[in-house]
Amino acid sequence: MKRIITALLLATVMISCAESEMESNPAVPTLKNAYEDAFFIGTALNRSQIFGQDEEGVQLTKTHFNAISPENVMKWENIHPEPGVYDFEAADRFVEFGEENDMHIVGHTLVWHSQVPGWVFEDEQGNDLSREALLERMKDHIDTVVGRYAGRIDGWDVVNEALNDDGTYRESRWYEIIGQDYLVKAFEYAREADPEAELFYNDYSLEVPSKRDGAVRLVEYLQENNAPITGIGTQGHFSLDWPSMSDVEQTITDFAALGIDVMVTELEVDVLPSASGYRGANISESEELREELNPYTEELPDSVHQQLSDRYAELFELYLEHSDDITRVTFWGITDGDSWKNNFPVRGRTNYPLLFNRQWEPKPAYDAVIEVAEQHSAE
């Protein structure tokens, strides 16, 4: 037993030393080192990583990423579950982790149609709030949350997913009760709470021309009304064959032309068959699990690994071409096992959309992304 314990301790020390060497030696290829002259490389952290339970995931984050976003812990239902009740434990730990590791810290998200408790829009009798009362409730939330981390969180996803897939405004409770200018007010309140933070609009499927055009109009509306928007997050929920690279590039250039920063905020590449042809990220979408929709339950075939590698390579080649406009590329999760795509839009599937596998090991797609950076540096 003593020999086993000694061997385990020795193995732990060796792994720790190897990880420390990777972090300190710039010659060792890590994502953040490879792209340090281009843009931040980020990831989204879940609760097990924020609280240190996923030790391997935490180490990968420290080694490879220099920007972090919270996957869920800062959404309204988690951080402000009841009137007058705030739960900052997980958010505090998230911010402390970023500070301890000198990371670019992003808050996600302040105003969204989803994961918001029903009471937010109702009075004590269950009736809809007036416009003025809902604005007051929004301001209180933003003042409290953004104000708590003023000077510590670098940027906020102020408004999330305000558009339908055709580019029209989503008729959320915010829109129905307040009107279109809820967007302006959210940005104004965020600026008041933290005069220095970067402030973003964040949405998915902006590569679809109609939705992209709607988002351009949205940003122009904010700018015309002096709302302090500084950047846009294009979520990057992609697949092996969608969207086209021309649409990805058009999205970057259209928003850069508005004079704001462009970020890829929730990147992954879905390798599984589409359930119904739906390409967006509306979390209310759901499809039944069928065998043909879950073809890689044990492992990903080499041929699909190659497709995934090629897809990531062409994406990062494009991102580097536009690195003057792109400030951050954030993966939505650390490993395949963390990814929400295992359950969306079909629950219970085995997906492989990220650069690290379920054993916290780099995949061929990781090597492809590193190789793109190395080739770019050599040119």
* Residue 293, phi then psi, degrees to nearest 5: -90, 0
Dihedral in degrees, nearest 10, Cα atoms 11, 14, 16, 19: -130
E strand or H helix that includes residue 209: helix 209-224
- 8 A C-beta contact, residue 65 and residue 32: yes
Rounded alpha-carbon distances, angstroms, from residue 42 to 33, 38, 335: 12, 13, 13
Pick from 170, 257, 160: nearest CA to 201: 160
Give catalytic status of residue 288 as yes or no: no
Pick from 255, 271, 275: nearest CA to 263: 255
| Candidate list 71, 188, 198, 266, residue with the active-site label | 266
3-state secondary structure of 260: coil
Residue 159 CA to residue 104 CA, distance in Å, equals 19
Dihedral in degrees, nearest 10, Cα atoms 343, 345, 351, 357: -60
Residue 16 CA to residue 21 CA, distance in Å, equals 9
Give catalytic status of residue 266 as yes or no: yes
| Candidate list 71, 161, 198, 207, residue with the active-site label | 161
Residue 186 CA to residue 192 CA, distance in Å, equals 10
3-state secondary structure of 377: helix
The token pair at 268 is 């992954």
- Tokens 């969608």: give the residue: 242
Residue 11 CA to residue 190 CA, distance in Å, equals 48
DSSP letters spanning 22-91: HHH-TTS--HHHHTTTT-EEEEEE-HHHHTT--HHHHHHHHHH-SEEEESSTTSHHHHS-BTTB---HHH
- 8 A C-beta contact, residue 322 and residue 249: yes
Give catalytic residue positions.
Answer: 161, 266
